[in-house]
Structure 1
C-alpha cells in the first residue's frame, strides 16, 4: 500500500453502522466479538441490526433479549450476549455513554448531544513517498 499514491477505504460498518457483517461469516470461526458503541442514538441499535442480519442469512448469533432496549437511556457499561452453541460467538457490548462513564441519564443525554456521530466527513489518505 505504501507504494500507491492513493488508496480507497470503505467503512466496514457501512451496512449496519458496525462491522458485524464481515466478522459474522462462518468461515471466520469467531468466538468473541467486542462491540463498542460510540453513537449518540440507541446504544443497542447495532446489536439488534446485526441480530436481524444474522437471522436473515441464517448465521450463528447469540440471543439478545428485547428487554435491554428499556435501558437505552441509561445503559450499563458492559453487556454480554453469550453464545449457546460452539458456532455462536459471544458478544461483549459496551456503550460509550453509560452509567459508569456518566453521572446519570441527564449527563448521558448531554454527552450524546455533545459528541454526535451524525455529521459525516471525507478523508483522503496519501502515502508519504518522499
Structure 2
C-alpha cells in the first residue's frame, strides 16, 4: 500500500491535491457575506453542496482512516517528534488505505493554507 514515488510522480500528486484545497479564510468570509446579502434582499438562499476537500491534521486524518472515508493519505517525512505519525502507516495498512510519505511538512501546509501540516487525506475524489 505504501508507495515510493519519484519526483515527477510527487509533483503529480501535489498538483492533484491543489485541486482539493479548502477555501481560504478570506474566500469563505466573502462567500458567507454574499449569502447573507442575498438573504437580506429576500432572494432564495440555496446552500451550496459541500466540495470535496483535503482533511488536514493528525486527528482528522486518523478519524477519516478509522471511519474508512480516507482514499489516500499523504504523510510528511520530517514530523518532529516522529511518534506523532509513527502509527499511521500501520493503521493505513490495517484499514486498506493507500498512503505516501512525501518530502516536507511545509509543502503539505501550503496545500491547506497553514505553515506546516503533518498529514493530509483525500476523502472524496471527483470524477
TM-score in terms of structure 1 length: 0.28
**Structure (1 or 2) with the greater helix fraction:** 2
TM-score in terms of structure 2 length: 0.29
